[in-house]
Amino acid sequence: MVREAKETERKTYDKVATHPLQSWAWGDFRKQTGVGVTRLVEEREDKIVNTFQITWHKIPKTAFFIGYCPKSSLPSAEVLKEIEIIAKKNKAIFVKFEPNEKADKDGLRKIERLEKGVDLREGKSLFTKYSLWLDLNPSEEKMLEKMHPKTRYNIRLAVKKGVEIVEDGTETGFEDYWKLMEETTKRQGFFAHTKGYHQKMWRAMNESGMGHLFKAVYQGKVLTTWILFILNDVLYYPYGASSNENREVMASNLMMWEAIRFGKKNNCRLFDMWGSLGPEPD
């Protein structure tokens, strides 16, 4: 059975959600940006087994929309049929899926089975096709042993120089983050969403208990800021920014190590870096 999720099911919904982009808080955030949101649950024997959060994006200068369902589980034919009905009601010309599914033999077989009954077409990915996953089960000692000697040296150097990693979920913490985000995007020449977008995102994820903001501070200066999410035993690193000052104190190296330790302290089994270059980068 496939149906829309109820507000009272928020906690159960999040326990089943496969990724922060599928979380209830993320949907609330997207609503605040003016995007329509539909949350579906798939039930078996009165138990929620899968969740699907679709956002609806208006095509400029038309009356039509595009649906987007990132990082969900792989939908069944029944789920796809229900989404097709909802998409037509929302005047969507298509719905884009990017499931949180490994592209291994098993995952590809599942997609092949779906293609037999549904009009699926390959498209260009919006989310990164690749990511780096770090197993957080080994002890800290074992993880340090596997690091490059230079990385271990940089971590010790940052500590020796007096770099401190602190969690700061306040508005001041966000302002520090945004200041460095502006500096980073200007320095590296890449696109970033507006301050309003990031602020709405941060508030929604922080209030849900999923979002955590960390700062690397050196001699009173914030050198690095990271936003981390925790959902269902997985730690995620979606956003980060850094200063061009005092790079010699290796604040980013210590930030990564403390993020790993933070994940372990919160019983996370995996650290998902949110995206990476593929095996053959340009």
Which class for 189: exposed (0-12), middle (13-18), buried (19 or more C-beta within 10 A)? Answer: exposed
Asked if the model's pLDDT at residue 197 lies above 90, the reply is yes
Total domains in the fold of the chain: 2
**Judgement on whether residues 102 and 228 belong to the same structural domain of the protein:** no
**What pLDDT score does 282 carry?**
64
Is position 128 within any domain? no
Range of the domain at 206: 133-272
Domain final residue pick, 67, 83, 115: 115
**Judgement on whether residues 179 and 243 belong to the same structural domain of the protein:** yes
**Judgement on whether residues 38 and 168 belong to the same structural domain of the protein:** no
Q: Residue 73 sits in a domain of what CATH number? A: 3.40.630.30
Task: Give the residue among 206, 214, 267, 216 at the shortest CA–CA distance from 237.
Answer: 214
Domain final residue pick, 115, 148, 169: 115
DSSP H stretches of helix in 130-250: 140-146, 149-161, 171-188, 195-207
Say if pTM beats, i.e. exceeds, 0.85. yes
Is position 278 within any domain? no
pLDDT digits (tens, 9 = 90+) for 235-246: 999 999 999 999
**Judgement on whether residues 137 and 262 belong to the same structural domain of the protein:** yes
Is position 230 within any domain? yes
Is position 122 within any domain? no
